[in-house]
Amino acid sequence: MPSDAPSNLPPVLRPENPPRRDLAELARRYGVRTIGDADGTTLTGITLATADLRAGEAFVAIRGVNRHGAEFAPTAAQRGAVAVITDAAGAEIAAPAGLPIVVVDDPRALLGELSAWVYGTGPDDQLPQLLATTGTNGKTSVSHLLEGILDQLGVVTGLSSTAERHIAGEVIVSRLTTPEASEFHALLALMRERGVQAVAVEVSAQALTRHRVDGLVFDVAGFTNLTHDHLDDYADMREYFEAKLPLFRPDRARRGVVCLDSAPGAEIAARAEIPVVTIATPAISEDAAVAASADWIVEIVDERQEGTEFTLSDGKGRALTTVVPVIGRHMAANAGLAIVMLLEVGYTWEHLYSTLDGSHIEASLPGRTQLVSGAEGPAVYVDFGHSPDAFEKTLAAVRRVTPGKVVMVF
């Protein structure tokens, strides 16, 4: 992001009581060298985009594909930036702005750690529970299901998904699937201020490779599936897979829940460097034997236009039956994953069972095979799926609850 963010994007959210951090201390901790006088300068935030910059913040200038962000240092100075953080090449470009410059080796790679220090949102700081979901399809659904179930449990929630950010009930339109690290840490600081107790977060492969979740350790990470997608960003499926895997290492997450319904799930579980439990839905799994080996099983009980009923069990006496308010066996799989993620992060089976068994999951999943028509006439669903696998699953789900003809427009 070397240039100003487009003006039509939603604003980056900041804590209402911004931090006050000493620039000289930042330079001592992270800088290779400092140009200009950093003593006595106080930071109240950090950002990549001058369009978003607030007075008192540091401007992080990174090299883009065509231009270096340091070219915008004079604009940053005009808007109240108190410092520039950039690489050696950027330092030369930014010098005419007249701001103190902290030179670092790789500002993009360091952004998460810098942001965590500025906002007090690192792994050792007091934060809401962080629940991450990755995978090709299902990230948004699992995140919204986590939020819905947590609400039913009486937890104050936050959400960061493709479409929206939620802060204790307030809804804000999203910019990216996963925000830039500086935006994400500022968002977490605001959530903490507002008493949020748990946050459901979508984590894309790009977020991992582009350092957007650096400086964070998630309490639990969930994996949905890996199917053909994002090959404009990655050379092949192997590279795409390897981009997802780091989420299941101790510097990224404390525990993991891995769905075995797609073939890569078993490899994720085998190569994870954190404690992992597995889950599968035999009705949609690619390999019945692998599915049978899962710690948790999702069995489809009934499919109807109002939702999908399923039973989640561990084969050791624990079982609950509930309804996810969306059609599709894959949605039951997503809901099962969300429930097990909550178990792994510390919510008790008794609490989840008493809340969900024999009841409905009260979650809103915008654009996820969403029934938008009334009781009369044909049923009309809206779905934001864009990959071949998503199309196939959506069509299969609609077919099973539709007595007549199915028409798809995309």
Give Rg (Cα) of the chain. Answer: 23
Q: Which two tokens stand for residue 268?
A: 């994720």
Domain coordinates in residue numbering, the chain: 21-119, 129-360
Q: 390 in helix, strand or coil?
A: helix
157-160 and 164-167 strand pairing: antiparallel
pLDDT (0 to 100) of residue 291: 97
- Per DSSP, which regions of 135-250 are E strands? 157-160, 164-167, 170-173, 198-202, 220-223
CATH-assigned architecture of domain 129-360: 3-Layer(aba) Sandwich (3.40)
Cα–Cα distance between 65 and 381 in angstroms, integer?
40
Q: List 334's β-bridge partners, or say none.
A: none
Class of domain 21-119: alpha beta
**Whole-number pLDDT of residue 1:** 43
In the chain the first and final C-alpha atoms are separated, in Å, by 31
Q: Does residue 355 contact residue 289 with C-beta atoms inside 8 Å?
A: no
Bridge partners of 35, per DSSP, are 101
pLDDT of residue 6: 45
Residue pLDDT tens, the chain, 410 long: 444 444 455 667 899 999 999 999 999 999 999 999 999 999 999 999 998 899 999 999 999 989 999 999 999 999 999 999 999 999 999 999 999 999 999 999 999 999 999 999 999 999 999 999 999 889 999 999 999 999 999 999 999 987 789 999 898 876 655 678 999 999 999 999 999 999 999 999 999 999 999 999 999 999 999 987 656 678 788 898 999 999 999 999 999 999 999 999 999 999 999 999 999 999 999 999 999 999 999 999 999 988 999 999 999 999 999 999 999 999 999 999 999 999 999 999 999 999 999 999 999 887 778 888 888 889 898 988 777 777 888 898 889 888 899 999 98
From residue 158, how far is each of 150, 183, 231, 356, 407 by CA, in Å? 10, 15, 30, 20, 36
